[in-house]
Structure formats: C-alpha cells, structure tokens
Amino acid sequence: MCTHTPTCPPANSADREAAIVVAAHPEQGWSLLCNAVVIFEDTGELLPDGRVVDPHRPVGALV
C-alpha cells in the first residue's frame, strides 16, 4: 500500500505511470513502481494482475 503523500495512482488508473519508483534496474531495462506496476524502458508495462500493456512510444512523423 502506498504511504506517499499524495497517494500514488493505483495500477488500474490511466495515470498509473505517475507512481513513484521504488526499485530501479536500468541495466536490465525495468523499474518497479509503488503501485506494483513494472515499467520497461520500451514503455511496456506489467500490471500486478499479470496483464501486459504493450509498448506505447509516440510514433514520429513519417517523412
């Protein structure tokens, strides 16, 4: 449970990535957020219930 003030957004909210990082492993490409979401450097996510969020990098303009 989050003890931060203000409370971190829950894992099922749209702004879940705004939660505070509690463990960072940049050498492995992932971080654990306070709300138990694992975020990856490619912008993918693993939610606490096991669901996967595909990477969602912004796509640049095609020239």
In a domain, residue 19? The reply is yes
The phi, psi pair for 16, rounded to 5°, reads: -55, -30
Q: How many domains does the chain have?
A: 1
- The H helix count followed by the E strand count for the chain is 0, 5
Boundaries of domain holding 22: 1-52
In a domain, residue 57? The reply is no
pLDDT digits (tens, 9 = 90+) for 4-60: 888 999 999 999 999 999 999 999 999 999 999 999 999 999 999 999 999 987 766
Instruction: Please report the pLDDT score of residue 39 as a whole number.
Output: 96
Q: How far apart are the first and last CA of the chain?
A: 46
